[in-house]
Structure 1
């Protein structure tokens, strides 16, 4: 059985590794990067998106093709743009009947047309269609003019292109960083391979399950969620592996037989590993309470990943190390000794000895109050940077860092057309209120023009002015009739500002306010409204999720440590650390990188990751402190626990910081910001909070930290 059980575990996990590895190729087929897909069902923009399907023959997403020159376009250039339009409309996936004619700008220096792209389950991916349109533009340039594809379809394609490095570049950078850290930590050629095999197997299992759920329509995922899943699984599985390896190496010094050492290591490691993983899983599953669907999706997807990281670190890794035995640590020799103490080098006085952690222990023991007060002041000073945090949303054009044809095209549009051309606000309301809705919209600052959907009009749109619906053609031409569906009409308001700008969002918010005077059944949607409702939902989630996560983690810590005081101190320290990390990050984002701001979900995700993962290291520390306190007393137990866990927790912190930093290789603003905040915050937790603040504060308070358990009433 001692041979069969480990062999069976390794075989099962290798099968999962193979199946999951094959699922990586299916990820691109199930990933969705359209912002509207992740709005709450109750959002006004979501209702408008659903109602629009009744007004149009097909689900569609607009791509705006713009051509601009330094001087007025001549007849040859206009003819070339008309020819370009015909070629674009012939691209597979473009809906010619839903697209617009060529529209010259008032200054005559630019022209644009909308190429409407079919979307939905049966349609070609819009990213592929945009790529083909851009190829057409490259192969048929307009002499003397710059051309670009922008609009919602253009931005979605650029975003998908930025995410294209997830499967290759992101994984390669993360795994290389982890491998190098493990080589430095263990100075062993075999042990890092076993750890990375465990982490990759956990990731493959996660991908297998997530892809299956996404393909079944149960759990849609985005590129953002995919990237976070990869990093979380690799980082967490490696952290749990480091903790188990530390226990296994310690057990090998007390047991001659590998089987006995394995059981001893599992007995010592399973509780903190399960508690740490459980804390992260609970924190992630609380995201199910979010309004924003993208947050709800991230919760279970990431929780699945952490679950497999737990399983792999407590089953596959022990089986692999049982197989390898002491050879895993080669060239370092790990021999069994007769010492009963698992750390005989510490001795009766834990403050004595050589090495870094002995020196840290002496500092904490000699000046505990000074250490924790200074540490707290340092963190509080870092928190002052929170005043510079701008997390009220960023324009869609800023989502992608570096080159973006859609952003360049948006700039061209803004120079020659109303900046919101091609991506108007959509107004749906009663047919009888059409003129009143149009008048109120036209009177709203930031609205350039209004049209009504009409099957009788050219390109399906007829302009609406104070004098009613206008006709195209010679005088006397009758005005087209609006398209009416269930007694409602669809108006489109072209905005003066870029559709993805904060100014445009303010205009949409004002439109909703003034149109409420017409009736509550008048709805305002469109791309700008999607961004506005996303920000509103994110802010609501921030206020709801943070207290829920704190409460849940506090309960877990109380159950784990059988105390109240210590868990409260741990939660307070992690929250202070989070504030410090966010404060420093806000200063770096504005003063160093010059970022335009941040999405409200950035501090929310950073909080969930940092609080849950930061508590991990405190769990590793305090579970060992409690174990040592039972045998040696609280203050001696604190120093012994600090020395025994110092190396492994520092290594784990470096690994997790490196894996999150790897997210920064993807040119996505959200992921770059998350990578910096979490990586910096993890290092802060590792080297300041867990190393100095928590031990010093606990040492200063003494056994009172275990109140109200029996351990608080001990002699020391």
Structure 2
């Protein structure tokens, strides 16, 4: 490996590295396939769930080729007039012309006289091939020539899918643009140079483009679907992690330029010193992401697959392309603060971080107690937290489908636009219908088609779609059928509410499996890297404390400021994954340097010197990473906003409190025991 880094760091061979990179990346971009990204995230439930079984069985029913759109009309603050009713009837007739079942397109008027709705059966393949066009056509037809004050809205499955797809439309461009701006500004502030920021940004940007290309092509080969939400998280992760690695390498390179006159030698020292930490950090993140391949939800597996590829590419570019680019550009890249060669003792001057380290070393107990109490206080914000958002709570703002659903909730049965499908054996239809009608929360039951010995029952619930009440009703239905005797016990329940319930249940199982796996992986990597059993335990405890504190603080923000009543289903797992994996990055950056300094100066002085050397770069990297994840909030999707906010708060806590104060305090308290069973030690250097 040293031979490779010596080749990368050479003044002439660095040019060869950059040339080979350009050729390789160009070939990959030219010949890798570019599959279309699915803009609408699929559920990806395993075949063992009743929802998946119902969906598979429905493929053989006559109506399998159909879907339905729901149009809603209301007059805000008043009842529908006679002219309104006549206009709605005309719109229903016009909508019927484009329906696969014109005779079924009839307006239903609410009992309170304030709203009306029409269900429009459509060809499923046609609607899905051009979801946006279908939605636009329906909205145009429904709103044509309406009386003043009468409004129309599209909702139901077609409406919600159209709004979600619209939320992701252009997501890659928006995220990339905002991310690049944020990274560029922060790099300029960090480096205080009008030119230096261009190189790491260009390298990371190239890595991001390549990661997206490779991940999508590889995913298609393995039958994995990378939708727009995964592409957005992938881009943010590559930019965040890649820029972090670049900051660490550039900081060490600048430090070595002060000590060595030859920039190639300085880069060789920098990359051989910082390279193992960067590789270990990236490896930790990649392996943590790979644990998602054990998940049951295919969306979780796709995220782990794509993002692991992205992190590996970010590490390769940070350790191969960036060093070569920096060597080629020379010292002038740091203008106007060009690091001049001043000798081996260039970096020994006392800094703010040195003073902070010595201050923590004098009162480690007090600082540890205060830090833990602060993190504990933030964790209290988790009291009363819940997981799971209803369909109307998953998008920011007031998209049309959400507005329409609220009108339906107020004027009709809340579950009218939902779809709960019961499949019963043909010989048990009457009994299955009776059980459904007697279940609390069921509004109506309507027999439907039959196929392959199964009969379909369309069940309307009284609760709003995707609500806890709807989930309770689905659970009760399944339990009542399972407890019945005879053929009816084979009845299964699916549909939109059942799918959302199964997603939540399977997500909880994934969480209970993946979180322990991540902790084991992180512990093993830290133990091998630091050659200690005590250090990994303490560092993991610090990361877990940060995770719970960030969740608590975020929950308070969500409920009291942003108006989110709960965490979305997968948010807790994804937040844990990113916070633990990325938080360990800073642990690795700090403690590997502390171990290196310990060999010469002892544990106590080694930690002070490590904090002095890495404090500024870790703080800069943390602020940059937090800002990059906050960029996820530019998309009007609650789940991505929540992930961005939680990771942003967690990284800031980790950077400004845990890694700066709490971990050094733990090292000062435990002394050489922090490195147990390692026995290498040096004479402690007295305070200066």
Counterpart of 1:53 in structure 2 is: 59
The whole-number CA distance in structure 2 between the counterparts of 1:415 and 1:21 is: 52
| Cα displacement string for residues 400-437 of structure 1 (whole angstroms, at most 9, x for unaligned residues) | 11021001111222233222224221000101110111
Counterpart of 2:648 in structure 1 is: 679
List gaps (5 residues or longer) in structure 2. Answer: 1-6
| Residue 506 of structure 2, aligned match among 533, 537, 550 | 537
| Residue 18 of structure 2, aligned match among 10, 21, 24 | 10
Counterpart of 1:476 in structure 2 is: none
Structure 2 residue 480 is matched with structure 1 residue 514:
yes
Counterpart of 1:660 in structure 2 is: 629
Deviation at 1:650, TM superposition (A): 0.6
Counterpart of 2:444 in structure 1 is: 449
Deviation at 1:3, TM superposition (A): 5.7
| Residue 364 of structure 2, aligned match among 364, 368, 392 | 368
Please list, as runs of the form range in 1=range in 2, the aligned pairs for 1:310-321 lying within 5 A after superposition: 310-321=315-326
| Residue 650 of structure 1, aligned match among 602, 619, 631 | 619
Determine if contact 2:110/2:411 at 8 Å carries over to the other structure: yes
Counterpart of 2:661 in structure 1 is: 692
List gaps (5 residues or longer) in structure 1. Answer: 347-352, 454-482
Going from structure 1 to structure 2, the CA distance change for 1:175 and 1:525 (only over 3 Å counts) comes to same
| Residue 592 of structure 1, aligned match among 552, 556, 561 | 561
Going from structure 1 to structure 2, the CA distance change for 1:153 and 1:599 (only over 3 Å counts) comes to same
Structure 2 residue 424 is matched with structure 1 residue 417:
no
The whole-number CA distance in structure 1 between the counterparts of 2:170 and 2:84 is: 38
Q: Partner of 2:445: helix, strand, or coil?
A: strand
Going from structure 1 to structure 2, the CA distance change for 1:120 and 1:621 (only over 3 Å counts) comes to farther
Counterpart of 2:228 in structure 1 is: 223
Counterpart of 1:559 in structure 2 is: 528
The whole-number CA distance in structure 2 between the counterparts of 1:172 and 1:18 is: 22
Q: Partner of 1:389: helix, strand, or coil?
A: coil
Structure 2 residue 459 is matched with structure 1 residue 493:
yes
Please list, as runs of the form range in 1=range in 2, the aligned pairs for 1:607-622 lying within 5 A after superposition: 607-622=576-591
The whole-number CA distance in structure 2 between the counterparts of 1:227 and 1:60 is: 31
Determine if contact 2:466/2:500 at 8 Å carries over to the other structure: yes
Q: How many residues align?
A: 672
Q: Partner of 2:548: helix, strand, or coil?
A: helix
Determine if contact 2:96/2:105 at 8 Å carries over to the other structure: no
Moved more, 434-443 or 54-63: 54-63
Determine if contact 2:96/2:102 at 8 Å carries over to the other structure: no
The whole-number CA distance in structure 2 between the counterparts of 1:626 and 1:60 is: 64
| Residue 377 of structure 2, aligned match among 362, 375, 381 | 381
Counterpart of 2:397 in structure 1 is: 402
| Residue 345 of structure 1, aligned match among 343, 348, 355 | 348
Structure 2 residue 355 is matched with structure 1 residue 359:
yes
Determine if contact 1:236/1:309 at 8 Å carries over to the other structure: yes
Counterpart of 1:427 in structure 2 is: 422
Deviation at 1:680, TM superposition (A): 0.7
Counterpart of 1:64 in structure 2 is: 70
| Residue 253 of structure 2, aligned match among 245, 248, 257 | 248
Counterpart of 1:270 in structure 2 is: 275
Counterpart of 1:439 in structure 2 is: 434
Determine if contact 2:37/2:228 at 8 Å carries over to the other structure: no
User: CA-atom RMSD, angstroms?
Assistant: 2.5
| Cα displacement string for residues 224-265 of structure 1 (whole angstroms, at most 9, x for unaligned residues) | 212211110110000000011012112222332222222222
The whole-number CA distance in structure 2 between the counterparts of 1:631 and 1:99 is: 83
TM-score by length of 2: 0.92
The whole-number CA distance in structure 2 between the counterparts of 1:443 and 1:635 is: 71
Determine if contact 2:424/2:492 at 8 Å carries over to the other structure: yes
| Cα displacement string for residues 117-149 of structure 1 (whole angstroms, at most 9, x for unaligned residues) | 444599513233213322333444355532110
Structure 2 residue 166 is matched with structure 1 residue 166:
no
The whole-number CA distance in structure 1 between the counterparts of 2:126 and 2:605 is: 64
Determine if contact 1:277/1:307 at 8 Å carries over to the other structure: yes
| Residue 46 of structure 2, aligned match among 19, 28, 40 | 40
